[in-house]
Amino acid sequence: MREAFHEQLDGVFDDLAGICRSVETAVRLATQALLSGDAAIAEQVISADADIDKAKEKIEDTCFQLLSLQQPVAGDLRVVVSALRMVTELERMGDLSVHVAKIARLRVPDIAVPEEVRPTLARMGEVAEDMVCRVEQIITTKDVEAAIELGRADEIMDGLRRQSFAELFADEWAHGVEAAVDIALLGRYYERIADHAVSVANRVVYVVTGDFPVDV
């Protein structure tokens, strides 16, 4: 019975890693749509979010079954509850990618990001995508050191967010209020994707060690 229980737990973590892969694709395509003004790519991101939602529901159903039928205690209970928290964070990352894609779609046939801030937003997209990719590996390997290291990438994202605000409030800004709102929102969306990635990584540390990183 316990062997079957742990096999189901392993399956949950495999499914979490699968959602990570879907979110990574969503972040990459949303950024591509944003920088190219491609409505078809934006629609692809928006439509694919339903699959992430279904995968989340599958994990939740499995976890609730494990809680009700197996009544796990101690370390096993910690793993199940952490998985429930992690899947919520991952699903939110997918939603944030959809928000990016919707801004891209809204401004078609124009491109939402003015030329001078495009490098900063492109870099934010790259960092967010990389962080999601690393979270997948952390979930798969349960690598505590890699999980703690991910926080440094989050510092890079925070710096990029500050840079985007500096560009936004520069005297040279000539793109009006609408574009300014877009850039402010986009910076927030990418920053939140990074924050959720760190939170998921920290929960992996908790699963493995029973403690959160000291800076959480």
Q: What is the pLDDT of residue 216?
A: 44
8 A C-beta contact, residue 15 and residue 59: yes
Q: Which domain holds residue 112?
A: 2-209
Interhelix angle 74-107/2-36, rounded to 10 degrees, is: 20
CA-nearest of 88, 80, 83, 79 to 52 is 88
Instruction: Look at residue 190 and tell me whether its pLDDT is greater than 70.
Output: yes
Instruction: Look at residue 183 and tell me whether its pLDDT is greater than 60.
Output: yes
Could you give the CA distance from residue 70 to residue 64 in angstroms, rounded to a whole number?
10
Could you give the CA distance from residue 82 to residue 199 in angstroms, rounded to a whole number?
11
Residue 215 lies in a domain: no
Instruction: Taking residues 10-28, report their average pLDDT.
Output: 96
Total of domains in the chain: 1
Residues 6+ apart with CB under 8 A from 37: 104, 107, 108, 109, 110, 111, 112
Residue 188 lies in a domain: yes
Q: Which residues of 122-133 are buried (b: 16+ CB within 10 A; e: fewer)?
A: ebbbbbbbbbbb
In the structure encoding, which two tokens stand for residue 19, read together?
């959602």
Q: What is the DSSP string of 75-128?
A: HHHHHHHHHHHHHHHHHHHHHHHHHHHHHHHHHTTS-SS-GGGHHHHHHHHHHH
What is the per-residue pLDDT across 114-133, written as a single tens digit (0 to 9) for each? 999 999 999 999 999 999 99
**CATH number of the domain that 168 lies in?**
1.20.58.220
Residue 157 lies in a domain: yes
Instruction: Look at residue 166 and tell me whether its pLDDT is greater than 50.
Output: yes
Average pLDDT, the chain: 93
What is the per-residue pLDDT across 56-88, written as a single tens digit (0 to 9) for each? 999 999 999 988 887 777 788 899 999 999 999
In the structure encoding, which two tokens stand for residue 176, read together?
């009006």
Residue 48 lies in a domain: yes
CB-CB neighbours of 185 under 10 Å:
15
Percent of the chain whose predicted confidence (pLDDT) is above 90: 80
Confirm whether pTM is higher than 0.85: yes
End-to-end CA distance of the chain: 35
Could you give the CA distance from residue 81 to residue 70 in angstroms, rounded to a whole number?
13
Q: What is the pLDDT of residue 4?
A: 76
By the 10 Å C-beta count (0-12 exposed, 13-18 middle, 19+ buried), 196 is classed as buried
Q: What is the pLDDT of residue 2?
A: 67
In the structure encoding, which two tokens stand for residue 22, read together?
């879907």
Residue 214 lies in a domain: no
Q: What is the pLDDT of residue 152?
A: 83
Report the largest interatomic distance among the alpha carbons of the chain, rounded to a whole angstrom. Answer: 67
